[in-house]
A and B are shown apart, each in its own frame.
Chain A
């Protein structure tokens, strides 16, 4: 699958090599294919070729009713399943004009933040792995297993929780769960230092990432990059603060938006790491609030056939990897007429076309890993 063409504008004896990376390749993020044109060791142009994971979810939404959609919606970005469910049910609730019980709002916020920690831990572990350090992923997965156990006790799922329902959550929290969740959050926080010190303080790691793959603010806006990657380039935008949904409006004192200005791989990693700390703090604040809340319903009784009224709406959420948008058009049927997904990773990896040219092949993996994408989120 490689081909050589005579170089144009290069040195007389130089040839450009067209190199295919993927679709199956050793970095952990599945099946993204890159087509690189090389001049020696240097990348002259890069083109991400997407679609190897396209599962047609948007078309399937049109054949599922509003309860079934949730199940497909949490699978496109498999590392942040809870946040994905959330976007869909928020859109449907807005269409129905439905008021969600306060208990459900706070529980959703809590679980969304725990899900954010789970997502970030995966990347905090896999990114050093791609750069050649095997140990951190074992630490990251130890923490993930603990948190997954907490989530599983609530929802019964380790990855795809299916806990959101239109109008609330599936069921109330189990007895004594908040205490166990609090203990787990504290345990995870106490061991986060292993990643702080082992990875971030590592000389080799810093050498491989500092100043590599600098993404300018202009490109962030040009490609619609969002989430931790955009904030690492100094774009101070976070929906949780700037357009609060769920209970984030009342968490303004705990909520910190982490930004960096360097825009390189290390900055992106630092943002992710610090966001994990913030998410753990937010989870604690939600737990505090939940224990104070009076007992009450956690969902609403739904009609047997759930139909959204005719119209359209756009709901967006700050997913762990960036902005996720859901454009819902309904014709009053029990299935949506169209549900368009705006997924964060799709926009984020487009920036590779400007990020990779001019860098070395050896840095490509460092840049690719620091874009924190999920292929299912790219291809939908």
Chain B
């Protein structure tokens, strides 16, 4: 009887957040349309208000512009209950880890609107030593709203664009295995496999 203890169990793979069940491909098309329709008009928004743009975000949620009529609900108690994150304002290098962490806490499917020049690309702080040049360096962004700060109407337009995108979306494509990145095209040469011991090549010592 083998009394040796079992080797340490292999590390359990962490739950994969970006995963579809095997039966997803069997879902009828009308069902997918209905699901997309539901998603696009019930976007619980988590406002990552950082700077000036946050004031325009608040203005967009107030009575004159009122984005609740588009189905955007600004009462998410936290990122865990939100579908949409709006990054409004300058992301600094000190703040960036918090942005990424809160994004990762959001449940799938999740969307991001980058609101304002600073979070798009650094904006007027493009040459600052402490500003992240675009929030898309740390999290994926669905819609960019340009402006410094953008008007509330621009945010409404951005929300409409996002809703169009959600309507067109297919979860199969969204959660498809990642394609090789563009960076692979410009990466360095692949290192050749190490020569097997004993198979001297070109040394000329044939036996």
Tell whether A56 pairs with B49 under 8 Å between CB atoms, given A78-B55, A142-B64.
Answer: no
- A53 contacts B92, C-beta separation under 8 Å: yes
Q: A53-B90, A55-B130 are in contact. Are A141 and B58 (CB under 8 A)?
A: yes
- Cβ-defined contact, A30 with B92, below 8 A: no
B55–A72 touching, CB < 8 Å = no
Interface residue A52 (Cβ < 8 Å from any Cβ of B): yes
Given known pairs A30-B54, A55-B128, the reply for A141 and B63 (CB within 8 Å) is: yes
C-alpha spacing A144/B56, complex, angstroms? 11
Collect the chain A residues with CB atoms within 8 Å of residue B95's CB: 23, 31, 52-53
A105 on the B face (CB < 8 A): no
Contact A160 B149 (CB under 8 A): yes
Q: How large is the interface on B (under 10, 10 to 19, 20 to 34, 35 or more residues)?
A: 20 to 34
**Are the CB atoms of A56 and B64 closer together than 8 Å?**
no
Q: Is A51 an interface residue (CB 8 A)?
A: yes
Query: Does B69 make an interface contact (CB < 8 A)?
Result: no
Closest to B90 in A: A55
B94 touching A75, Cβ below 8 Å: no
- If A56-B130, A60-B125 touch, whether A376 touches B62 (CB-CB below 8 Å) is no
Whether B151 sits at the interface, judged by CB under 8 Å, is yes
Q: How far is the CA of A376 from the CA of B63 in the complex (A)?
A: 26
Contact with B along A115-127 (1 / 0, CB 8 A): 0000000100000
Return B63 CB to nearest CB of chain A, in Å.
5
Which parts of A65-106 form the interface with B (CB within 8 Å)?
71-72, 75, 78-79
Q: Give the residues in chain A near B54, CB-CB below 8 Å.
A: 30
A159 at the B interface (CB under 8 A) = yes
Residues of chain B contacted by A56 (CB below 8 angstroms): 125, 128-131
Q: Which of A24, A137, A141 contacts B64 (CB 8 A)?
A: A141
Chain A residues contacting B89 (CB-CB under 8 Å) are: 30
Interface of A is mostly: loop
Interface check A59, CB cutoff 8 A = yes
Most buried by A among B51, B92, B102: B51
- Are A54 and B130 within 8 A (Cβ)? yes
Contact between A55 and B98, CB atoms less than 8 A apart: no
Contact with B along A29-61 (1 / 0, CB 8 A): 011000000000000000000011111110110
**Smallest Cβ distance from B94 to chain A, in angstroms?**
5
B50 at the A interface (CB under 8 A): yes
Q: How far is the CA of A136 from the CA of B151 in the complex (A)?
A: 22
* A159 lies within 8 A of B149 (CB): yes
Can you pick out 22 interface pairs between chain A and chain B where the beta carbons lie within 8 Å of each other? A24-B98, A24-B102, A30-B50, A30-B54, A31-B95, A52-B92, A53-B90, A54-B94, A56-B130, A59-B129, A60-B125, A60-B128, A71-B124, A78-B55, A137-B58, A141-B62, A145-B62, A159-B149, A160-B52, A160-B149, A376-B51, A376-B52
Q: What 13 additional pairs, Cβ within 8 angstroms, besides A137-B62, A141-B62, A145-B59?
A: A31-B50, A53-B51, A54-B130, A56-B125, A59-B128, A60-B125, A60-B127, A60-B128, A78-B52, A78-B149, A159-B52, A159-B56, A375-B51
7 residue pairs, one from A and one from B, having the closest CB atoms = A78-B52, A141-B62, A56-B128, A56-B130, A52-B95, A145-B64, A55-B125
